[in-house]
Amino acid sequence: MRFDYYVFDFDGTVAETGEGIRKSVGYSLEKMGREVPDDSVLNKFIGPPLHYCYKNLFGMDDAQADLAVKLYRERYVDIGLFESYLYPGIVDLFRTLKERGAYVAIASGKPEVMVKTLTKHFDLDKYLDVVAGISLEYKHADKIELITRALPEGADPKRVCMVGDRCFDIDAAKAMGMTGVGAGYGYGPEGELEASGADVVFEDVPSMAQWLLEDA
């Protein structure tokens, strides 16, 4: 295969999680007496840390963002988390990678406990070596740190690919000397992955899987 280590983002790369996130953001804004914007704005919450989004998209201060996140989780933990599904082809890709002896990991800006809940819910956990996410209290996500945690010590960057749908994923991969694979079917704005220097971009999982599983 092209690589020995395969690291994936989660939201917008492995799973379509948008519905639950959008509805939970809307719930939090309504509870705070704020207008709920359209999906083009709500989709910007998919991937980055919640505090960052509330502060940068709605001009909230730290205390307001803390409250918004608390309200968001009132709905998301029990309902929104499960308003999601795996992209077609992901299970087959992960299964094949493990059958061929690859190291497979998740590096997500989502709280780690939630990613693990979903990977178990979708029966993906048996294919994963590591799931690296943020803590519930952590308000920022450093993608380089997350990828570092997801990989074993001494992993050769030239044998690693980072698969993700946002510039944060590709920027981190490039900074670490890894191959950046763009999930063009995710939530990144048009042209964002290419502008970040993605080595290759795919519009669906099957075509991406074919490339990832080929010998270089």
Catalytically annotated residues: 9
First to last CA, the chain: 6
At CA 88, angle to CA 87 and CA 91, rounded to 5?
90
Whether the Cβ atoms of residue 162 and residue 169 lie closer than 8 Å to each other: yes
Round to whole Å and give the CA distance between 177 and 197: 12
Whether the Cβ atoms of residue 57 and residue 40 lie closer than 8 Å to each other: no
167-175 vs 143-150: helix crossing angle, rounded to 10: 70
Greatest CA span in the chain, whole angstroms? 55
Whether the Cβ atoms of residue 33 and residue 18 lie closer than 8 Å to each other: no
